[in-house]
Structure formats: C-alpha cells, structure tokens
A and B are shown apart, each in its own frame.
Chain A
C-alpha cells in the first residue's frame, strides 16, 4: 500500500500538503482539481467486489 503522506499523490494535489485518503472528497470541491471516479460493480445479492479508481489532476485554468 502506498504512503499518501509523500509520493505522487501528494504532488498531484498540492505540493506542500499532506493529504490523507479520507480527505479526498473534502479536498476536491474547494480546490482547483478534478476528481475522476470510475466504479465497476459486479453482481447482486451476494457479496461483491467493486473497484473505484480516482484520478486527481490539476485544473489548467
């Protein structure tokens, strides 16, 4: 598992900030980033696995 206190994710969001994963949603509305969420769902009525992928990019404007 990656360390979110450093590495590329922090660099994408804010070069100076330490951003834990739990703050992603809170972070995006007030900052000029774009959150892209892709969710894949499999099956119904039995336990099922989903994978959420989120990409945070800089807003060039």
Chain B
C-alpha cells in the first residue's frame, strides 16, 4: 500500500492525482462546424518532474513578477490510472473500442503468477497502486504505455475541483523511476 497526502496546495505537484481529466484527441472543422474529440480519464497521476512544476509555478505566480517566462511549461505529463479489476479483464478501454490483454487472476485456487507479478510491480509495463482506505480510489494500475500531456493552464484551472490526493514523495519517485526505465528501454531485434 502506498502513502498519500490529502492537502491540496496551489501548485501542481508530481504525484498529484486528479479526476476527470480530458485528453484532446482531435479538433477539426467541416462546413462551419467545429468538432472536438476528447477522451475523459476518470483518474490520472502527474509524472512531470516536481522541480519543473515548482519553477513553473514560481515563474507564473510568484512575487515580484519575473520579467521573463523562461520556466513556463506548455504542458504537464500524466498517465491514467485504471481499475485493476478492469485491467486484468482487459476491458478497461472497452468504451474506446480497444480490447486489451487479459491477465488471469487465479490459477486453480491460488493467485496466478502473472497477477502476483502485476501487484508486486514486477512487470515493467505496469505500476500497481493500492490506496489507504480514506482515499476513495480502488486498487489501480498505471500502464506506462499510456501517457499524455495536459495544458498547464487548463490543469491549474481544474485543480481545485479535480484534486483527489497526492502520492507521498517516496512512492511517487518509485512511479517516475519505473516510468523512466520503461520509457528508456531499448528494443533489440530478436
């Protein structure tokens, strides 16, 4: 189980978890009708480096006002959280018409080797998170293949209404270390 903090600071931080965040898929115009296609993720975790987020915040809102925007970030990196029960059934993206891999939970009467590897964070692609009871989030998984960015300004505007909790420093570092390892893996020809 991870540790979390509940305080909602004005600054967006690495490890913050937000609910109902939109990813803009596409914007197009046809005969005067603008069509915006977006995916709403029920929960996301912030992956951007905390020092970058701190400097962005200080540069934007600090006093006295800076005379440049050198530390501004256009967007913030984040990853969706999926309900682990949906993920192992491979149906967590069914509303996006995507079938995903099934991870069997049981083998005979015991937990399967694959499932145990998942919840012990032994599969590089996934990061399992179990939250304290006071946090209203079911056991969840980050899929490191899925990440996107949200506009810094847009996320700041949604912060007060969408903030759920903050993953404690040690556990958030674990997430970003495993994410960066996964991202920097080298695909060698077989």
Contacts and interface: CB of A to CB of B under 8 A. Distances in A.
Most chain A beta-carbon neighbours within 10 Å: one of B34, B91, B96: B34
Interface stretch (B4-12, B38-46, B65-73, B155-163): B38-46
B83 A45 contact: yes
Interface in A26-61: 42-43, 45-57
Interface residues of B, number: 27
Contacts, number: 76
A48 B33 contact: no
Contact of A49 (B31, B83, B96): B96
Nearest to A39: B36
Nearest to B92: A46
B28 A1 contact: yes
B92 A24 contact: no
A50 B92 CA distance: 16
A51 B37 contact: yes
A43 B97 CA distance: 12
B95 A48 contact: yes
Given A24-B34, A47-B40, A7 B95 contact: no
A55 B41 CA distance: 26
A43 B39 CA distance: 11
Contacts of B25: 49
B24 to A, nearest CB: 10
B36 A52 contact: yes
B95 A42 contact: yes
Interface of A: 1-2, 4, 7-9, 12, 21, 24, 42-43, 45-57
12 contacts: A1-B28, A2-B30, A4-B29, A24-B34, A46-B83, A46-B93, A47-B95, A50-B39, A52-B35, A53-B33, A54-B35, A55-B32
B183 to A, nearest CB: 21
B178 to A, nearest CB: 21
B37 A49 contact: yes
Nearest to B33: A55
A46 B94 contact: yes
Nearest to A45: B42
Contacts of B39: 47-50
